[in-house]
Structure formats: structure tokens, C-alpha cells
Amino acid sequence: MGKKQRQSTPSKPTEGEQEILSALWTLEKATVRQVHTELSPKREIGYTTVLKLMQIMFEKELLGRDDSTRSHVYWPRQKAQVTQRRLVRDFVQKVFDGSTGKLVLNALSTKSATPEEIAEIRRMLDEMENDQ
């Protein structure tokens, strides 16, 4: 039997997988027990559910795993920013017909931005104008 061929991009995470990724981005590397402990205050989820999801995520190449010890240690294969950008790009394409401007206008009309966020948005807009 040949080796499994690696995908170029990991598949899109489900909502439950996204929660596990968020926990792992905070923890960097962790066992299933550590991830379960991190998620438990936020929502009711069983240890075996976390274990099964993390095994599936390893198969989908969303997570890396060191199985050299009894308690396997997992880590996200991509940085948070890479996954977040891919999910936002897909969302903008599906919901806003590819218009980033529509996304930003809707987001800002839904919830107020902090002064720090507004300053960052202005900085990004200035950079974009200068690049044109």
C-alpha cells in the first residue's frame, strides 16, 4: 500500500474543528486532555468528542501530531492568520459576491470598532491608496 499523497491545502475546518484550532493557536501544542480543558468552560463537549475530532483533523491535515509518547501531542499545521484569511476570502466570495468593501461596510454597521481598530483600518486604507 502506498503512502497517502499530501494535499496542497488542508480542507476547510468545520465549526467544531475551528474551535479546536482556536484552542491550539492559543496553546501552540497540546494533548487532547489539554484541548478539552481549554474548551470545557466555553461549551459542553465530551473528551471522546474532542479526541475523535482531533483524530479526524489529523487525517484532514489540519493538525500535526507527535505520537512518540503515550499522550499524543497535537499542533495546528497552519498559523491562525493563514486559516482566517482563507475562510474570510471564501466568505467574501460566497456572501458578498467577492466585494471586500461590502463586507467591511456591513461589519462596521453591525458592530462598532474600537479606536485602535479604526486607526488600524485607516492605516491599511492609506497603504492601499499609496500602492495604487
| The overall pTM is greater than 0.75 | no
Query: Could you tell me the residue ranges of all domains in the chain?
Result: 15-76, 92-131
Instruction: Give the separation between CA 53 and CA 13, rounded to whole angstroms.
Output: 10
pLDDT for the residue numbered 12: 82
- The CB-side HSE value for 85 (13 A sphere, CA atoms) comes to 5
Query: Residue with C-alpha cell 468545520?
Result: 14
Q: Which CATH architecture has domain 15-76?
A: Orthogonal Bundle (1.10)
pLDDT for the residue numbered 3: 45
pLDDT for the residue numbered 74: 97
- The CB-side HSE value for 17 (13 A sphere, CA atoms) comes to 21
| Contacting residues for 95 by C-beta, under 8 A, at least 6 apart | 103
| Contacting residues for 35 by C-beta, under 8 A, at least 6 apart | 20, 23, 24, 27, 50, 54, 74
Buried b / exposed e along 99-110 (16+ C-beta atoms within 10 A)? eeeeeeeeeeee
Over its length of 132 residues, how does the chain's per-residue pLDDT go in tens digits? Answer: 444 444 456 678 889 999 999 999 999 999 999 999 999 998 899 999 999 999 999 999 999 999 998 899 999 999 999 988 988 999 999 999 999 889 988 888 888 889 999 999 899 989 988 887
